[in-house]
Structure 1
Amino acid sequence: MTSFSIGETDFLRAGRPHRVIAGALHYFRIHPDQWQDRIRKARLMGLNTIETYVAWNAHEPRRGEWDATGWNDLGRFLDLIQAEGMDAIVRPGPYICAEWHNGGLPNWLTAGERELRSSEPSFLADVSEYLRRVYEIVAPRQIDRGGSVVLVQIENEYGAYGSDKAYLEALVALTRESGITVPLTTVDQPTDQMLADGSLPELHKTGSFGSRSAERLATLRTHQPTGPLMCSEFWDGWFDWWGGVHHTTDVDAAAADLDELLAAGASVNIYMFHGGTNFGLTNGANHKGRYLPIVTSYDYDAPLDEAGDPTAKFFAFRDVIAKYAPVPDERPESAVPSPAFSVPLAPAGSWTDAAASAPATDAPATFDELEHLSALVRYDVDLPDGQGGELVLDEVRDLGWVSVDGQRVGTLSRTRHDRVLRIPAGRTLSILVEEQGRVNYDHRLGEEKGLIGSPTLDGVPLTGWHSTPLDVAEIAAEIAARSVLGPADASGGPAGPSAWVADFDLDSPANLFLDTASWSKGYAFVNGFFLGRYWRNGPQRTLFVPAPATSAGTNRLVVLELEHLLDPTADFVSALALGDTEE
């Protein structure tokens, strides 16, 4: 067995000074069949450690339904790291941010009135149960028991949120009681207040930053006077949001910042080494006065791109690391173009017109009240005396398509701060609301989704709402199960929600890039695998299809379009297209 500890100036591995050179890989953002490939490429860049968050809401989306298999098999992920001869850092939260929906906290945990990320007893009880389950996986895989785990982090950038020391003390006590013996760390941005509020004297403090390393390390040293300095999140790129640009960082500048950090003798965790993808409906959202949902890609302009191929940044970082640590002679294979082809899409009918079987309520039910985890709820209400007028909502979270008697009359967007729409006379008002991603930080964690409050028409409350949840994955599976495809529709079909299907053949499984530029907004699936959201709002143009989701022979694509296809064709292109940059 090997020991790992913190000395006066260094990390000590088997009693000898050791520098951690790590990179972030989130197992929940990578197809499990591609974990080993990404870990191996991390070693080839010169990394000796892999860091991962643990996403609670991936493991337990519904209370009591814990899952640590398949995509959630953290134990297997840690074992693969060890098999590659590397160490592991585990950051179980419970809060992770990570541009992941709700910051990793389950909806059922954040629903209702409770003080999150605090020593409030009911919250702490739920967190304790979660952490015990995580530590059942992590404890036997610690380095002093023959495993890969060398560090475990307590909470995550807590100083940016709160200062409840009793909460942190409870997390530490629970962690130690659960058999975690490796050193415990915290991470905060290097400001005096955050470093003071976000940690405890017995925890090793680390920083998160992406530039001005000497300055940030000096601030960190005032709060961590002994032991190794470490940047636990060296930001080498950034994330994208719908309606923005694709963020990139200059390769030479990023490499110079990494060089400055390593020249100072610090340890590092590169965030991200490989970002992966917000498959399904897992993207988070920003809200700093304006709601901005995050895109499906989590490419992050990382050394490995979204498809797991090395970039110029990979080789620039590799050269920097080689100045300070051994780097393998072997280099990863260069990216090869993916198959490029087009297939026509056959119409499969409408898909959001399920009967409103839900009981009538005075006010619309939120996603949370419905315990609905998918993307859409359809709200229907009879218009009094068939009248039209000025429809006013307290708030729509996050995007609503408004129809009267089946005819679209407008949209209401949270991003645009929309609340008012004039509607024509008719019998039935319908509002299809999409939850576009839950805010992943600060005090908007756990906010309700759907139609918020009591809508009015010309100042009079509308009552008798039917709130019908729509599970897009279940709908896509039902459509995919139909064996016979209809003819292609050259017109792209009528405006409004429409389903489309295409079959395509492959000689062997392959990474693919589905170009969505000629579609409007919706969701795509290949062989039942939920690729994620697309939106012509950009910047992202392609959806990544991991090779393990495809097969030799016939594959089936299902597209659930919410607005209109400009061209009813599925175009697969040879490489990622993530949108325009600021350059």
Structure 2
Amino acid sequence: MTFSIEKNQFCVDGKPIKLISGAVHYFRNLPDTWDDIFRKLRAVGCNCVETYCAWNMHEPRPGEFDFSDRLDIVRFVKKAQKAGLMVIVRPGPYICAEWDFGGLPWWIQCEDDMEIRCMNPTYIRYFDRYLDVLLGKLRPLLCTNGGPIIMMQCENEYGYYGDDREYLAHLRDGYRRRGIDVPLFTSDGGSASAFADGTVEGCLPTLNFGSRVKENFAEHDCRFPDVPKMCMEMWDGWFDAWGDEAHHTTDAKTYAGVVRDMLRKGSMNMYMFIGGTNFGFTAGANHDKKFTPDVTSYDYDALLSECGDTTEKYFAVRDVITEITGHTPPDVPANRPKKAFGTVKLSQAAALLPQLNALSKPIHSEVPRAMEEYGIGYGYIAYRTRLSRDYHEASLSFESLGDRANVFVNDRLIGKVYVNDETLSVNVTAQAGDILTVLVENMGRTNFGPKMMRKKGLPGRVLLGGKIHFSWEVTPLPMTDLTALRYGDASAKTPAFFRGTFSVDTPADTFLRTDNFTKGFAVLNGFNLGRFWEIGPQKALYVPASLLKKGENELVIFESDGLKGEPEVTFVDQPSL
């Protein structure tokens, strides 16, 4: 297969083609679901699939690369080719995507001279190393080498962020230098400012929007009249943040109308075809006037639901694609089975604070510092100090907080502080010899805008009674290995881990409700399903069938704030977003 851009058209084997694509993030969907997703992509009428690449997942530590399991992008691309799909890859290095730090690895923040998304030498050195590895894996899969990859993106929505055009040119030239000989593109909003700063010669300029095709292409048509017209992110829904009033949705018929308008204009990539899940601590956040962390589900009100079910929007779009192309797509596959496994009692518990040393070694620190400076990027971090004198209603204040802190005296909760609070402080009454603990949760790094470099934990001064308090023991808590915990009965004081087992005859997709819990995360058979929080809107965590085992399964719930009832959860057969 050959793929080329001929004036204002995409061509395959020399013949004009309209690209009809859907976004599927391999790192948000478990590998055993990929074939089903691709079949449904073909059945809606698509001929292409698009994906981002998550640098922070592929290089979790400097120089340590991971392309296993759901990070196996080579396998993902080969499966897409087998399904008869072309592939568009967007390697970043920045991807936004409502993903922690926009896909950038947390550890680059540890460099004193770091500035992201520009010609900063340290940033360039790190992402060049990453691209050497990633593109080395993808190069054999280019259509010029017999594979399905037809295009690659340089950066992402750079016109919203900065104006270092030398940086964009460096990315473009780096792709070519590494043997990437398929067409390159950029994607941005449709404003003159976005085009001025986000496009670069040698890369096809594409657009991102969710409605009003003619209006959004107005500036593009004036600036680039002789190039193919493509919406690289045609948003079919939106993401949810903790505390939103409800799950964001868009009308199926309205979106199908946008699809019709776009296909009459040119080509499109529907963002998202399936959103998938922000498993573990991977969800990102926005931070404008307030910090708004994203929920675990990335359902996005996409054509396929978070668990891969077809929707009303799927069939509405399918009808329009059939109308425009004149081709009848393959039959739509049935949805995967769902099952309600009922209530599971978590009869064992392990209090966190008495077992901090079982989970991680404390590090002495004269003053608290950011989470990243202690060598971890995700999870929680505990700052502990023994008070040398009495305090009465003394203010414990934080110059900066990332993102939410529970404050304890001798393991007794005395207050909570959230980054959005008007005042980042809590009053402390304690005696000499008491232990003061500040347990801080990282709720996700900002993935868009100028506040992306904001660090987690306690990156600023901590004052007690108006003075700098010295001598702390800091315990990083990435929560990746919980095997050292010692469990007793379920009467442990929170913050605590609650554990239970349940039996499964036939694994199937299911959804975990945590109604008796307040805030924390869930781990099933060692796999972190993601965060939960009573404020919603999400009320149930998606559990893919492949995470369950036939026979006995272990569930661990971490609760930071306190139980609202008996320590039990329920597995149901319906999502609650």
TM-score exceeds 0.5: yes
Matched, 1:404 2:409: yes
2:441 to 431, 434, 456: 434
Which residue does 1:454 correspond to in 2? 461
SS of equivalent to 2:430: coil
Q: Following TM superposition, by how much is the alpha carbon of 1:437 offset from its aligned partner in structure 2, in angstroms?
A: 0.3
Q: CA deviation at 1:336?
A: 4.5
User: Is this contact kept in 2: 1:310–1:335, CA < 8 A?
Assistant: no
C-alpha displacement at 1:148, in angstroms?
0.7
State how far apart, in whole Å, the 2-side matches of 1:110 and 1:137 are: 26
* Alpha-carbon distance between aligned partners in 2 of 1:225 and 1:260, rounded to the nearest angstrom: 18
Residues 367, 448 of structure 1: 8 Å contact kept? yes
Q: 1:422 aligns with which of 424, 427, 439?
A: 427
- Separation of aligned partners in 2, 1:433 and 1:260: 48
Q: Is the 8 A contact 1:110 1:445 kept in 2?
A: no
Structure 1 Cα separation of the partners of residues 352 and 30 of structure 2: 28
Give CA-to-partner distance per residue, 1:158-181, whole Å, 9 cap, x none: 111112111111111110111111
**Deviation of the 1:357 alpha carbon:** 5.3
CA distance in 2, matches of 1:359, 1:95: 32
Distance 1:327 1:424, change over 3 A: farther
Greater alpha carbon shift after TM alignment, 410-419 vs 311-320:
410-419
SS in 2 for 1:323: helix
The aligned residue for residue 349 of structure 1 is 350
Structure 1 segments unaligned to the other structure (5+ residues): 579-583
Q: Quote how far apart the aligned CAs of 1:374 are.
A: 3.0
What is the CA-CA distance between 1:395 and the residue it aligns to? 1.7
Shift of 1:486: 6.4
Aligned to 1:171: 171
- 1:259 shift after superposition: 1.4
Distance 1:299 1:269 in 2: 17
Separation in structure 1 between the aligned mates of residue 397 and residue 117 of structure 2, nearest angstrom: 35
Match of 1:305 in 2: 305
How far apart are 1:433 and its partner, in Å? 0.3
Q: Residue 78 of structure 1 aligns with which residue?
A: 77
Give the superposition deviation at 1:342.
1.0
Q: Which residue is equivalent to 1:505?
A: 503
Partner AA of 1:410 in structure 2: G
Q: 1:365 Cα deviation (Å)?
A: 2.4
Residue of structure 2 equivalent to 1:250: 251
| Counterpart position of 1:117 | 117
Contact kept in structure 2, 1:495 and 1:563, CA below 8 Å: no
What is aligned with 1:571?
570
Kindly, what percent of the aligned residue pairs are identical?
A: 39
Question: Counterpart of 1:539 in 2: which secondary structure?
Answer: coil
How far 1:332 moved relative to its partner? 2.1
- Cα RMSD, aligned residues only: 1.6
In the TM superposition, 1:326-341 aligns within 5 A as 326-334=327-335, 336-341=337-342
Aligned with 2:382: secondary structure?
A: strand
Instruction: Confirm or deny that 1:66 pairs with 2:65.
Output: yes
Give the Cα–Cα distance (whole angstroms) in 1 for the partners of residues 361 and 281 of structure 2: 25
Aligned to 1:525: 523
Residue pair 2:351, 2:493 contacting (<8 A) in 1 also? no
Q: CA deviation at 1:348?
A: 2.1
Partner of 1:8: 7
1:323-402 correspondence to structure 2 within 5 Å: 323-325=323-325, 326-334=327-335, 336-353=337-354, 354-355=356-357, 358-388=362-392, 389-402=394-407
CA distance in 2 between partners of 1:255 and 1:546 (Å): 29
How far does residue 144 in structure 1 lie from its aligned partner after superposition? 2.0
Cα distance in 2 for partners of 1:336, 1:219 equals 47
| Matching of residues 97-108 of structure 1 within 5 Å | 97-108=96-107
After superposition, the C-alpha distances for 1:223-257 in whole angstroms (9 at most, x for unaligned) are 32212100000000000011112111111111111
Amino acid at match of 1:271: Y
Q: In structure 2, what residue type is equivalent to 1:365?
A: R
Q: Which residue of 2 aligns with 1:581?
A: none
After superposition, where does 1:30-41 map in structure 2 within 5 Å?
Answer: 30-41=29-40
Whether the 8 Å CA contact 1:204–1:224 is kept in 2: the answer is no
Which residue number in structure 1 is paired with residue 267 of structure 2?
267
Alpha-carbon shift at residue 32 of structure 1 (Å):
1.5
Instruction: Tell me if the contact between 1:438 and 1:445 (Cα under 8 Å) persists in the aligned partners.
Output: yes
* Further displaced range: 173-182 or 231-240: 173-182
Contact preservation (8 Å) 2:408, 2:437: yes
Structure 2 SS opposite 1:11: strand
Following superposition, the deviation at residue 215 of structure 1 comes to 1.0
Deviates more, 1:197-206 or 1:417-426: 417-426
* Counterpart residue type for residue 369 of structure 2: A
Does the Cα contact within 8 Å between 1:363 and 1:453 map onto a contact in 2? no
SS in structure 2 of the partner of residue 342 of structure 1: strand
In the alignment, the residues of structure 2 paired with residue 327 and residue 394 of structure 1 have an alpha-carbon distance, to the nearest angstrom, of 61
Task: Indicate if the aligned counterparts of 1:344 and 1:502 stay in contact, CA closer than 8 A.
Answer: yes
Tell me the residue number matched to 2:93.
94
TM-score (norm 2): 0.95
- Distance in 1 between residues matched to 2:474 and 2:328, nearest whole Å: 58
Task: State the shift of 1:478 in Å.
Answer: 3.9
The more displaced of 444-453 and 234-243 is 444-453
Equivalent position to 2:474, from 457, 467, 473: 467
**Offset at residue 495 of structure 1 (A):** 4.9
Displacement of 1:373 after TM fit? 2.5
Query: Could you tell me whether the CA contact under 8 Å between 1:502 and 1:570 is conserved in 2?
Result: no
Q: Which amino acid in 2 is paired with 1:342? A: T
Q: Does the aligned pair in 2 maintain the 1:398–1:414 contact within 8 Å? A: yes
Give the equivalent residue in structure 2 for 1:160: 160
Q: Is the 8 A contact 2:10 2:228 kept in 1?
A: yes
Q: Secondary structure at the match of 2:453?
A: coil
Structure 2: distance between partners of 1:568 and 1:327: 52
Distance 1:357 1:92 in 2: 36
In 1: Cα distance, 2:459 partner to 2:251 partner? 42
Secondary structure in 2 matching 1:397: coil
1:150 shift after superposition: 0.5
**Deviation, structure 1 residue 323:** 1.3
Deviation at 1:513, TM superposition (A): 0.3
- Say how many residue pairs are matched: 567
Q: Give deviations 1:70-124, integer Å, cap 9, x for gaps.
A: 2211111100000001000000010000000000001122333322111222221
User: Cα distance 1:571–1:359, how it changes in 2: closer, same or farther (>3 A)?
Assistant: closer
Alpha-carbon shift at residue 416 of structure 1 (Å): 2.4
Distance in 1 between the 2:453 and 2:374 partners? Answer: 15
Matched residue SS, 1:466: strand
Contact 2:30 2:70 in 1 (8 A): yes
> Which residue number in structure 2 is paired with residue 46 of structure 1?
45
1:121 & 1:361 partners in 2: Cα distance? 30
Q: Could you tell me whether the CA contact under 8 Å between 2:363 and 2:475 is conserved in 1?
A: no
* 1:327 Cα deviation after fit: 3.8
1:331-368 CA-to-partner distances (Å, cap 9, x unmatched) read 12146542241121112221243149534322102111
Match of 1:443 among 443, 446, 450: 450
Letter in 2 for 1:500: F
Q: Which amino acid aligns with 2:458?
A: L
